[in-house]
């Protein structure tokens, strides 16, 4: 899952980028509201973490512009402001959730997970489940037929994206756009390797190849 972090406090941004990276998220970081307004509207992010007090343009104005243009990407506001009125303004502008600084990193993680599941119609799941598999996002492993299967970091990122898009045909280009940040080289051959490794662990029927289209996560045969 590819996230955009818009935060001008460099120590906090560094901490969040490192922490979210360990959780399998590809994170692009910006510190200026003007850059965020453009990149958030043009790049295919799965979720945006947005500070309100930004140089260039205020975060609230950027959010309003995204929503006015029809941008539906989930947005989680980070703000040091404690006023209930300002939080309400953020929600009215189209924010999906907010978190007031200072906060515990685990709370941010759980809110991100909840927003991503909600965006894909899985809001009521305590953990990510799809097509016969249960994904433990904290341990980055998957349960199948009562057994725990360990995953590499790359396999975890790929399987999480497949499970959030179960039944959909996903092109290699789409997978690359959402699994890597803007600075990482995207190689479709590497994706094929990780897909085949997942098939080796979960069964070849779990991920179908659609010739000329991409892949479809269909899950464990019943």
Identify whether residues 114 and 6 lie together within a single domain.
yes
Distance CA 128, CA 142 (A): 10
176 C-beta neighbours (distance < 10 Å), count: 17
Predicted local confidence at residue 81, as pLDDT: 66
pLDDT score of 222 more than 50? no
Least confident of 9-13, 111-115, 181-185, 208-212: 181-185
On whether the pTM is more than 0.85, the answer is yes
Cβ density class 117-153: b for 16+ within 10 Å, e for less: bebbebeebeebebebbbbebeebbbeeeeeeeebee
pLDDT score of 221 more than 60? no
Longest dimension (CA), the chain: 54
The pLDDT of 163-169, averaged and rounded, is 94
Predicted local confidence at residue 134, as pLDDT: 93
pLDDT score of 220 more than 80? no
The pLDDT of 117-137, averaged and rounded, is 88
User: What rounded mean pLDDT belongs to the chain?
Assistant: 92
Identify whether residues 27 and 102 lie together within a single domain.
yes
Identify whether residues 132 and 97 lie together within a single domain.
no
- Residue 172 included in any domain: yes
- Residue 186 included in any domain: yes
The pLDDT of 136-161, averaged and rounded, is 95
Q: What is the domain count for the chain?
A: 2
Identify whether residues 10 and 80 lie together within a single domain.
yes
Identify whether residues 115 and 142 lie together within a single domain.
no
Domain boundary among 63, 96, 120: 120
State which residues form the domain around 150: 128-217
Q: Find the CATH number of the domain harbouring 107.
A: 3.40.50.2300
pLDDT score of 185 more than 50? yes
Share of the chain above pLDDT 90, in %: 77
Domain boundary among 89, 120, 151: 120
**Virtual torsion, Cα 151, 154, 157, 161, nearest 10 deg:** -100
């Amino acid at each position: 899952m590819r996230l955009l972090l818009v935060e001008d406090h460099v120590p906090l941004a560094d901490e969040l980028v490192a922490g979210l990276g360990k959780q399998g998220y590809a994170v692009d970081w910006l510190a200026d509201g003007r850059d965020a307004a453009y990149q958030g509207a043009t790049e295919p992010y799965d979720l945006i973490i947005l500070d309100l007090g930004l140089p260039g343009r205020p975060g609230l104005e950027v959010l309003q512009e995204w929503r006015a243009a029809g941008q539906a990407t989930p947005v989680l506001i980070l703000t040091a402001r404690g006023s209930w009125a300002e939080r309400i303004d953020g929600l009215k502008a189209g924010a999906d959730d907010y978190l007031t600084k200072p906060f515990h990193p685990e709370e941010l993680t759980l809110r991100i997970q909840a927003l991503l599941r909600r965006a894909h119609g899985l809001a009521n799941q305590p953990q990510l489940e799809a097509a016969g598999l249960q994904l433990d996002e904290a341990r980055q492993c998957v349960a199948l037929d009562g057994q725990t299967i360990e995953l590499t970091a790359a396999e975890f990122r790929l399987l999480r994206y497949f499970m959030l898009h179960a039944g959909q045909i996903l092109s290699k280009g789409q997978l690359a756009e959402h699994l890597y940040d803007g600075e990482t080289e995207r190689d479709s051959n590497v994706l094929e390797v990780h897909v085949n490794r997942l098939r080796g662990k979960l069964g070849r029927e779990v991920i179908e190849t659609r010739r000329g289209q991409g892949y479809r996560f269909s899950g464990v045969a019943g």
